[in-house]
Amino acid sequence: MKPQKVAIITGAGQGIGLAIAEKFAAQSINLILNDLEEGLITEACKRISHVHGVSAHAIPGDAGSEDVINALIAAALSNFGSLDIVVANSGITLFGAFLEYSREDFMEVTQVNQVGTFFLAQAAARVMKDQPNGGALLFTSSVTAHQSHENLAAYAMSKAAIEMLAKNLVLELAPFKIRVNTIAPGATVTARTTLDPDYEATWSKLTPLGRPATAQDIANAAAFLVSDEARHITGQTLIIDGGWTCVSPSPYT
With beta carbons less than 8 A apart as the criterion, state whether 58 and 50 touch: no
Rounded to whole angstroms, the Cα distance separating 242 from 76 reads 35
Any domain includes 253:
no
pLDDT in tens, 196-211: 888 999 999 999 999 9
Domains in the chain, number: 1
Any domain includes 162:
yes
Any domain includes 74:
yes
Rounded to whole angstroms, the Cα distance separating 53 from 47 reads 10
Q: Which residues contact 188 (CB under 8 A, 6 or more apart)?
A: 15, 16, 212, 213, 214, 215, 217, 218
pLDDT band at residue 217, thresholds of 50, 70 and 90? Answer: very high
Residue 201, class by beta-carbon neighbours within 10 Å (0-12 exposed, 13-18 middle, 19+ buried)? Answer: exposed
Residue 7's nearest CA partner among 63, 107, 90, 75 is: 75
Give catalytic residue positions. 155
pLDDT band at residue 1, thresholds of 50, 70 and 90? Answer: low
Rounded to whole angstroms, the Cα distance separating 149 from 109 reads 16
The mean predicted confidence, pLDDT, of the chain is: 95
Any domain includes 1:
no
Determine the length of the chain. Answer: 253
pLDDT in tens, 118-143: 999 999 999 999 999 999 999 999 99
Q: How would you classify residue 134: left for phi > 0, otherwise alpha for psi between -120 and 50, otherwise beta?
A: left
Residue 240: CB atoms within 10 Å: 19
Return the CATH number at 164.
3.40.50.720
Residue 223 has pLDDT above 80, yes or no: yes
* Residues facing 113 on adjacent strands: none
Amino acid at 230: A
pTM of the model: 0.95
Q: What's the pLDDT score for residue 13? A: 95
Rounded to whole angstroms, the Cα distance separating 64 from 49 reads 26
Residue 38 has pLDDT above 60, yes or no: yes
Q: Which domain holds residue 115?
A: 6-242
Quick one: average pLDDT of 75-93? 96
